[in-house]
């Protein structure tokens, strides 16, 4: 019998997967798969989930949000596990799963995954860490690490933006350098609100990197610079409405396969909702870097 390693986060999305575990097992048994479950907890490192995986395992099924999937992918890369991954989007933030067309309904998602062929999708990397959806830095990212967990669970990554707006009066200058083959900036500027490097398209359900493609070998970079508060509010209204952002004051949007970021300020980075590496950053797109099941998009 073919095996599937089922890694689930019981805390994701207000315990959403708990009521769906029997459905996961039932559907996989119908197709001749044996589910080998691993429950994520604070007491056990996720690395334990990957022990004993061999050629009898057909894929790894991860139930959780972007952060859970990101952690699983990083362990797979670190342990050189090269089998497909599939996602059940049951977390607070499921931006990547939505991008690739995975249904929220557990039964529909399992059917779609089982009856699909693996696709080689792009993967982002920042220094020695991988990301599936978005890496970010700037004022909002710094604030996100201090945002109340209950607020995050209620409105997702939009909570970061709300908290970031509260910090507008605290802007200060810093030295920053962003360099790629398609864009370059080196100089003093006010602390940027947000720099987002997308492998996917959305953050907090906001379709920001609407030009992004999942297998073009490129990352989509959006830099929102600090400016006049009136212009900033206008920009964020456009973002919330899902308007296209070309020719918008205070915003830079470009594509690149490699980006270098240097910053002398003590601000943090974020990878799919988790704390990222320190500066300087070397960000790159690994074309076809991961095999994914259940993809339903062009």
- 91: domain CATH number is 3.40.50.10330
Asked whether residue 122 is domain-assigned, the answer is: no
Same domain assignment for residues 100 and 204: no
Same domain assignment for residues 74 and 205: no
Report the Cα 295 to chain-centroid distance in Å. 16
Range of the domain at 280: 131-286
Of 116, 146, 178, which one is at a domain's C-terminal end? 116
Asked whether residue 49 is domain-assigned, the answer is: yes
Same domain assignment for residues 259 and 145: yes
Same domain assignment for residues 153 and 246: yes
The pTM of the full predicted model, rounded to 2 decimals, is 0.88
Same domain assignment for residues 85 and 150: no
> Is residue 281 scored above 90 in pLDDT?
yes
Report the Cα 44 to chain-centroid distance in Å. 23
pLDDT of residue 188: 44
Distances (CA, A) of 233 to 45, 158, 159, 237: 42, 15, 16, 6
CB atoms within 10 A of CB 175: 12
Same domain assignment for residues 159 and 78: no
Same domain assignment for residues 52 and 181: no
pLDDT digits (tens, 9 = 90+) for 218-263: 999 988 776 655 566 676 667 666 666 666 767 788 999 999 999 8
Same domain assignment for residues 175 and 224: yes
CATH of the domain at 256: 2.60.200.40
Same domain assignment for residues 279 and 155: yes
Query: How far is 141 from 151, CA to CA, in rounded Å?
Result: 15
Same domain assignment for residues 111 and 27: yes
Give the chain's domain count: 2
Asked whether residue 295 is domain-assigned, the answer is: no
> Is residue 286 scored above 90 in pLDDT?
yes
Asked whether residue 81 is domain-assigned, the answer is: yes
DSSP-derived secondary structure letter, 81: -
Of 93, 116, 139, which one is at a domain's C-terminal end? 116
Asked whether residue 186 is domain-assigned, the answer is: yes
Same domain assignment for residues 164 and 246: yes
Asked whether residue 92 is domain-assigned, the answer is: yes
pLDDT digits (tens, 9 = 90+) for 33-46: 999 999 998 888 89
Asked whether residue 146 is domain-assigned, the answer is: yes
> Is residue 140 scored above 70 in pLDDT?
no
Q: What is the mean pLDDT of residues 168-191?
A: 68
Asked whether residue 296 is domain-assigned, the answer is: no
Same domain assignment for residues 176 and 50: no
Report angle CA 33, 132, 239 to the nearest 5 degrees: 125
Of 55, 82, 116, which one is at a domain's C-terminal end? 116
Lowest-pLDDT choice from 16-20, 178-182, 246-250, 251-255:
246-250
């Amino acid at each position: 019998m073919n095996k599937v390693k089922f890694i689930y986060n019981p805390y994701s999305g207000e315990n959403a997967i708990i009521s769906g575990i029997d459905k996961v097992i039932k559907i996989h048994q119908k197709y001749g798969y044996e589910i080998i479950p691993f429950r994520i907890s604070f007491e056990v490192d996720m690395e334990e989930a990957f022990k004993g995986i061999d050629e009898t395992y057909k894929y790894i099924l991860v139930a959780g949000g972007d952060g859970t999937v990101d952690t699983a992918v990083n362990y797979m890369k670190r342990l050189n596990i090269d089998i497909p991954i599939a996602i059940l989007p049951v977390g607070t933030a499921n931006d990547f799963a939505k991008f690739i067309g995975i249904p929220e309904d557990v039964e529909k998602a399992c059917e779609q995954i089982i009856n699909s062929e693996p696709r080689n999708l792009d993967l982002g990397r920042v220094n020695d860490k991988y990301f599936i959806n978005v890496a970010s830095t700037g004022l909002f990212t710094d604030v996100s690490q201090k945002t109340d967990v209950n607020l995050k669970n209620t409105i997702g990554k939009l909570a970061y933006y709300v908290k970031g707006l509260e910090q507008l009066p605290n802007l200060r200058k810093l030295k920053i350098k962003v360099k790629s083959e398609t864009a370059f900036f080196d100089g003093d500027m006010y602390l940027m609100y947000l720099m987002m490097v997308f492998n996917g398209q959305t953050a907090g359900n906001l379709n920001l990197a609407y030009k992004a493609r999942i297998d073009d070998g490129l990352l989509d970079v959006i830099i929102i610079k600090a400016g006049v508060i009136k212009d900033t509010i206008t920009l964020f209204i456009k973002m919330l409405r899902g308007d296209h952002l070309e020719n918008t004051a205070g915003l830079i949007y470009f594509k690149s396969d490699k980006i270098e970021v240097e910053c002398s300020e003590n601000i943090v980075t974020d990878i799919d909702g988790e704390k990222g590496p320190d500066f300087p950053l070397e960000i790159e797109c690994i074309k076809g870097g991961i095999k994914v099941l259940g993809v339903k998009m062009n």
